[in-house]
Amino acid sequence: MQSSLVSVAKALRQARHVFVLTGAGISAESGVPTFRDAQTGLWAKYDPLQLATPGAFERDPSLVWKWYSWRRELVSAIDPNPAHYALANLVECVPELTLVTQNVDGLHQRAGSPAVSEFHGNLFTNICWRDGSTQVLAANDIEIPPICPDCGSMLRPGVVWFGEAIKSDVLDNSFNRAAACDVFISIGTSSLVHPASALFEAAIGNDATIIEVNPEITPMSKAADFVLRGKAGTILPELLDLLAVED
């Protein structure tokens, strides 16, 4: 592991543009439950894969809103972990950094990362069900779900649900940035969810150095130049320490 960390640190020192993709694994280390984790309490009988869809919201918008309100409360009580902070500090160590996350929890921003591209939206934003515009909840709004102040439609969480398309500007920018990087780092992602799983292929097309940080083997592992097995919260701070040391 140590020799691989040294090699990765060397690649980062030589990099012009580093692209980082993070997935559920990095936030799971903070205690954010993934959709594959069992639900608890009142929500134990529900399958999250059946709640996070446009169809579920159409059938029972109150139920879906209440479930997301519960998730917001849960995530609000969780703090970023050392991996989030290490990525925020990595910005100062490389000429250019692109950070794309599949997570919706906002932990990267809370850790201090200045620019985060959220592939699947943000749990704490609200958008109009009719036109997708971002809206701010009124302090006295007690409707469940709340009502859009502009058009009177329902508001919904600002996340990308199963069966929905990722915003074209986010998608295009992410692939363009991946295709222009010379180091690509995948952290805590299963490499199974399309289209994020194809981002590293765009980087390979630019002969980028591919690095995976994950305790588990993924479909990307064989294509990676360096595989760092373990928790991101342990590995990334060690990597930052190495970057601080001259060759």
Walk along the chain (247 residues) and give the pLDDT tens digit of each residue: 667 999 999 999 999 999 999 999 999 999 998 776 656 666 778 888 889 999 999 999 999 999 999 999 999 999 999 999 999 999 999 999 999 999 999 999 999 999 999 999 999 999 999 999 999 887 677 789 999 999 999 999 999 999 999 999 999 999 999 999 999 999 999 888 889 989 999 999 999 999 999 999 999 999 999 999 999 999 999 999 999 875 4
Catalytic residue among 17, 108, 120, 194: 120
Residues of CATH 3.40.50.1220 domain(s) within the chain?
1-32+80-120+166-247
Alpha helices in the chain (DSSP H): 2-14, 24-28, 48-51, 54-59, 61-76, 82-90, 107-111, 168-178, 199-204, 232-243
CATH number of 1-32+80-120+166-247: 3.40.50.1220
What is the homologous superfamily of the domain 37-77+121-159 according to CATH? SIR2/SIRT2 'Small Domain' (3.30.1600.10)
Residue 84 is among the residues annotated as catalytic for this protein: no
Report the C-alpha gap between 235 and 241 in whole angstroms.
10
Residues of CATH 3.30.1600.10 domain(s) within the chain?
37-77+121-159
